[in-house]
Homo-oligomer: A and B are copies of this chain.
Amino acid sequence: MNKKGLAILMRARMRPSDPSKILLSPLAEKVNRVAPDNQANQSGGSGMEPASEGGNEQTNFSCRNKRPFELVKESMHSAISMNKTEVLDDVLNDFTEGYFSLSGESHKALLLSLAKEYDLNRAQVRELIKQYLGLELPKAAPAEEGNAVEESSLSAFYRIERNLRHALKPAYEVLFERLNTHPGGLKFLSILRADILSILAEENIPSLRALDSYLKEKLGTWLSPATLELHQITWDYPASLLEKIVAYEAVHPISNLLDLKRRLGVGRCCFGYLHPAIPGEPLIFIEVALLKTVAQTIQEVLWDDPPILEHEATCALFYSISSTQPGLAGINLGKFLIKRVITLVKREMPQISIFATLSPIPGYMQWLLSKLASQLKLAETETSSDQSGSSFWENILEPEEERALLNLSEEYKAMTNGMEVMFNLLTTNDYTWTNSPELLSVLKPPLMRLCARYLLQEKKRGKALDSVANFHLQNGAMVERINWMADRSEKGQHQSAGIMVNYVYRLENIEEYAQSYFSTGQIHSSDDILQYVKGVEA
């Protein structure tokens, strides 16, 4: 490739603009084209007039916005209530195309109407429940088999339970089921759920939350690992798919096509899960670097030059996992992906014996700063002699860490305690502390020690508080090592003061670790990292 070509590659604007907009234009046009000129003509017969009839551009625009909503709602109704015949395809197309033409506010109104007007029939449920309560509970099954009396008394239960099961399905399940079997429908449902989630993030609406929970369960069934295809994504893949990798890489953004080519080239692999119904777009993908040792910083992974050759590698480092569908949030696709990738790499490159990650710690600084802030507040409201008496108060610093922080300057000596100094240093804008060797040396011991504590000991409902830690631990990994100044990007500093962690998957322990983490919340870790925490307890 000549230099000019390369320059074009590097300048290429890779991130596509908002995907919903790409979809929108031709469809919006279509819906507008068939928008009837008045409400009486909604059934679609003769009202085919160009949308430009009105003289006032403004009126015309608002009219465009309103009419399609009723049309889309109508197609949604047809998609749910029509008999099972082939005409459905057209109706479902009308609905999905119409949906994209609507504004965010209309989406909300439509989804609320779906959640409430197509809910389950509570009167019917109540009727069945009454029948059910009228049945006499059969006694505990006797040991001998084939008890005909018991069998026949059960058959009434089976019948009503079956009917009750059906009655408890909201009417909107039909729409979900039909879309799932409709070309493009699964992708549409994932977009629909992303919209629901973003509405719920702003306002908690119970009916919409119920709709979301139902849809999430359905999507989880449809996207079972049995239906997912593992692909090794290479530079030979279609540009339209590679573009998605660039757009969705969530951990370490890809700056241009050359960067992408590097991540698919020598010493690198990328694996993704594709679903047959959503072609050309991985649902989740993982980037792997082949290295001689487990990397300590992301810089050496992203910018090692030249990368080592495959046969020299002994370690497969998972340095990025990204899911592409916000609408599949909460559905764990990554678990199966990691397990299958390890099996595949092990088979194709038997010289690889170490499977590790270099992972961000997205929740560390948030946890630490809120911990520091709350302790400072407690310290303010109580006298210093009382501090040790409060069960909520805790000096999270070691004595020597406290001393070093207070001794940094005269200004700091006047502060309440070391935690106040630390809080101030960490919340200073633009991370000035990272440029001062003195501050780095004073902050490193407490930041590393507390990071180990955060990863190994801070829990929520018995599971690791950090979402990435929880992800790898439930997959059967162990916490191996934390690395200082491993990610110097602004995002890295902001999330975890630049610290990154290596999780290691030991093939012989994956199942045992996953099991013990699942049942008791036990976190396996290396002796090295355990030292940080043991120091405190000793």
Contacts and interface: CB of A to CB of B under 8 A. Distances in A.
Given A157-B122, A207-B154, A180 B226 contact: yes
Contact of A229 (B123, B213, B276): B276
A145 B109 contact: yes
Contact of A86 (B112, B180, B476): B476
B510 A83 contact: no
A233 interface: no
Given A161-B168, A168-B168, A226-B180, A515 B151 contact: no
B145 A112 contact: yes
B162 A85 contact: no
A116 B221 CA distance: 25
A158 B207 contact: yes
A126 interface: yes
A346 to B, nearest CB: 15
Given A137-B122, A210-B158, A213-B162, A226 B181 contact: yes
Interface string A113-148: 100110010110110010011000100010001100
Interface of A: 83-87, 109, 112-113, 116-117, 120, 122-123, 125-126, 129, 132-133, 137, 141, 145-146, 151-152, 154-155, 157-158, 161-162, 164-165, 168-169, 177, 180-183, 185-186, 205-207, 209-210, 213, 221, 224-227, 229, 276-277, 339, 476, 510-511, 514-515, 518-519
24 contacts: A85-B515, A85-B518, A86-B339, A86-B476, A86-B510, A86-B514, A87-B515, A112-B146, A151-B206, A154-B206, A154-B207, A155-B206, A155-B210, A162-B210, A165-B165, A165-B168, A168-B168, A177-B221, A180-B224, A180-B226, A182-B226, A183-B226, A226-B276, A226-B277
Given A145-B112, A224-B181, A161 B84 contact: no
- Where chain A touches its partner, the secondary structure class is helix
Smallest CB-CB A-B distances: 6 pairs: A155-B206, A158-B210, A86-B511, A85-B515, A85-B514, A181-B224
